[in-house]
Amino acid sequence: MSIDVFISEDQIQKRIKELGEEISRDYKGEEVIVVGVLNGSFMFCADLVRVLKFPVITEFMAAASYGEGTTTSGDVKILLDIKTDIEGKHVLFIEDIVDTGHTFKKILAMIEKRNPKSVRIASLLSKPARREHHIDIDYLAFEIEDKFVIGYGLDLGGKYRELPYIGVYNPEAN
């Protein structure tokens, strides 16, 4: 097997700097609570907060989707919640990938009940072909076709999250 590079480390880091500039301009002078959605977002979140030009409060949530095999049932459970009171605050979610949209449908429904001032989403990847719920992504690094990608936070059975690039798993290569 081999892993082919799909989006290189340089491409990712260049795009993160661009997003960092855009986000820094948009939130200039505001207080923002950044929420990384674990596990997949840990690397994107770590790199993105480092290029923001304003101080943020960093929090994490964890969600898990239960389905069989590669299908998703849409039954998303929140495994870890944030500790900060977000009422009247700007919340910026950081996610590795928006796929069907089930995860954000659940998270947004829960978060909006807490009356934040605003809620936005920054995602490394989006697969629009897989969408089952419309999700507005405010800051998107890369839109991709429906292919199975790993690395830079994304896993295959818990492995490969540590790769500094996004790759495509090729089980047939030597």
Q: Name the residues that contact ligand PRP, by CB under 6 A.
A: 37, 39-40, 63-65, 72, 95-103, 155
**Would you call 99 a catalytic residue per the annotation?**
yes
74 vs 117, beta carbon nearer ligand PRP = 74
Comparing CB distances to ligand PRP, the nearer of 21 and 112 is: 112
Other CB atoms within a 10 A radius of the CB of residue 48 amount to: 24
Rounded Cα distance, 12 and 20, in Å: 12
Q: Where are the beta strands (DSSP E) in the chain?
A: 2-7, 32-38, 57-66, 75-80, 90-98, 118-126, 139-143, 149-150, 166-170
Which one is catalytic: 4, 99, 138, 146?
A: 99
> Do 133 and 102 form a contact (C-beta atoms < 8 A)?
yes
Cβ of residue 23: shortest distance to ligand PRP, in angstroms?
Answer: 20
Distance CA 37, CA 45 (A): 9
Closest contact distance (angstroms) between CB of 25 and ligand PRP is 27
Minimum distance between the CB of residue 59 and ligand PRP, rounded to whole angstroms?
A: 15
For ligand PRP, the closer of residues 26 and 59 by Cβ is 59
- What positions carry a catalytic annotation? 99
